[in-house]
Amino acid sequence: MAWLAMAFCFWAYPGGPAWGKYWFKIGSKAKLVPGPRGFPVLGSMNLMANLAHQKLAAAAILFNAKRLMAFSLGETRVIITCNPVVAKEILNSSVFADRPVKESAYGLMFNRAIGFAPYGVYWRTLRRIAATHLFCPKQISSTESQRKDIGSQMVSLIACHRGDFRVRDILKRASLNNMMWLVFGRRYELGSSNSETEQLRALVEEGYELLGKLNWSDHLPWLASFDLQKIRFRCSQLVPKVNHFVNRIIQEHKAQLNGRTRQDFVDVLLSLQGLDKLSDQDVAAVLWEMIFRGTDTVAVLIEWILARMVLHPDIQAKVHNELDGVVGRSRPLMESDIQSTVYLQAVVKEVLRLHPPGPLLSWARMAITDTTVDGYEVPEGTTAMVNMWAITRDPEVWMDPIKFWPERFVCKDAGAVDMEFTVLGSDLRLAPFGSGRRTCPGKALGLATVSFWVGTLLHEFEWVKSDHNLVDLSEILRLSCEMANPLSVKVDPRRES
Ligand code: HEM
């Protein structure tokens, strides 16, 4: 009875049971962050199921809490903002430089990789290595020929399709092959499959599934020992397979170290000396995370861009005009052309605005100490999220937010933004790669890959509606936010090869 009475007492607080438990314990008279109470004990777990970004945006409007809303996921206190100013306050604060603990991430060794390493010396070392060696402009430009090679393979494969086809399978395989080449130095043919790529695809798919799931044990610790969703069990099955796969490649690289001229991520990490030197286990974790982070995001974004091009043939025609002017039809697009394709870049930005691959910025942040956000007290250990999807669709932030209008990034009309507008994290009205200390380290590489491949696919083909399937912009939120119904299209070649 006493337990029930306490559960209802905690639940009565704004934000639900986890917040109630905290405020009740410390007996503070602080101004409380508004938000849904959810259910006793469970809080608002239901908000995180399916399209969490949409449900959270609707709840923020309902509770008049767009600037800051509190809610509970079981015993986890969460705050979330749909406001760019408050988003900046959270993401750029050193207090929110940590990530909340996620059992599946630890189970998959990601606590030794950049994304889930706790804030501290080890994480800072990894970030420095990433910035100076893996994602520096020299490393990105040294892999240009590789993106070109895979881009041409995509073009050849797509050219074989006479009628409707699903472009997602090609994009996902191309993106995985790109990361495998970049990270492990392995080149695979897009048109043919072999046992190594199939094995890797299965490992990556299983990892996505595990990381993308809302794990009840993360928020209801008394459930943890039961492993009801079998997440711990599946992680323990997956990790030895991943270790075997990655360690075999690391050992092969070590054996050939002296004779190699190429520099993939394995070579770079194995060559580190002194304080930067990583154990083989840590190298495997960092590399494995790169495959995860870099594959899905790029493929998902390109599918959204192509869907928008099919839906808006007038805008596609403007991209074609620009490509004809900058490149001409006599030769393929080159990466150096991209800087002159201003309208194409505006299209990429507009798709990032309406369909950010991480609508809740992928992975949340956690407060390292007690702090204040937007004038409210926020205790240590609170999880903080930014609803980028809600910000980019807010009519108080963007004019005609639902309209697909790339011109907003290139013209001087009312409602347009500064022509120099950057999506790299300094302006929180559109920051699909996050911002602050934990911003995406792969953003320059991701954008270079997406812009070049989309430019190539549009330069080579006109993308037209399928005869049988409409373009459906419904979403599904897994690790990234994808089209719920894969894009089915037809293409007409534009260039003599
Ligand atoms: C279109 C492509 C991409 C998008 C939209 C994207 C988006 C994001 C977002 C939103 C975050 C969280 C940032 C934050 O908390 O502020 C993130 C983190 C991260 N991304 Fe990306 N990303 C992309 C491509 C890549 C690529 C190509 C790589 C590497 C190959 C990569 C590696 C990472 C890593 C390692 C982190 C964790 C950073 C940390 O916690 O310190 N991403 N990304």
Q: Which string of b and e fits 248-271 if b means at least 16 CB within 10 Å?
A: ebbeebeeeeeeeeeebbbbbbbe
State pLDDT tens for residues 139-198: 999 999 999 999 999 999 999 998 999 999 999 999 999 999 999 999 999 988 788 888
Residue type for 435, please? Answer: S
State pLDDT tens for residues 325-348: 999 999 999 999 999 999 999 999
Q: What is the DSSP letter of 134?
A: I
Q: What is the DSSP letter of 497?
A: -
Residue 82 annotated in ligand binding:
no
Question: CATH class for domain 75-493?
Answer: mainly alpha
Position 90 scores a pLDDT of: 98
What's the 23 CA to ligand 1 centre distance in angstroms? 34
The answer to whether the CB of 211 falls within 8 A of the CB of 239 is no
* Element spanning 106, H or E: helix 103-107
Position 387 scores a pLDDT of: 98
Position 201 scores a pLDDT of: 87
Q: Where are the domains of the chain?
A: 75-493
pLDDT under 70 in the chain at which residues? Answer: 257-262, 497
What's the 317 CA to ligand 1 centre distance in angstroms? 31
d(C-alpha 248, C-alpha 257), whole Å: 14
Atom of ligand 1 nearest to the CA of 291: 30
Residue in the structure block whose two tokens are 């070049």: 452
Atom of ligand 1 nearest to the CA of 388: 10
User: Which residue's alpha carbon is at the smallest distance from atom 27 of ligand 1?
Assistant: 294
Ligand 1 environment, Cβ below 6 A: 91, 114-115, 127, 289-290, 293-294, 297-298, 301, 357-358, 361-363, 432-435, 438-442, 445-446, 450
User: Which residue's alpha carbon is at the smallest distance from atom 37 of ligand 1?
Assistant: 115
Q: For strands 383-386 and 76-81, give the pairing.
A: parallel
What distances in angstroms separate CA 344 from CA 326, 431, 458, 459, one per listed residue? Answer: 11, 18, 10, 11
Give this prediction's pTM: 0.96
User: Which residue's alpha carbon is at the smallest distance from atom 9 of ligand 1?
Assistant: 433
What distances in angstroms separate CA 139 from CA 144, 166, 273, 297, 442, one per listed residue? Answer: 9, 32, 19, 20, 12
Beta bridge partners of 37: none
Nearest residue to 174 (alpha-carbon basis) of 140, 196, 150, 195: 150
* Element spanning 155, H or E: helix 144-159
What's the 297 CA to ligand 1 centre distance in angstroms? 8
Residue type for 363, please? Answer: W
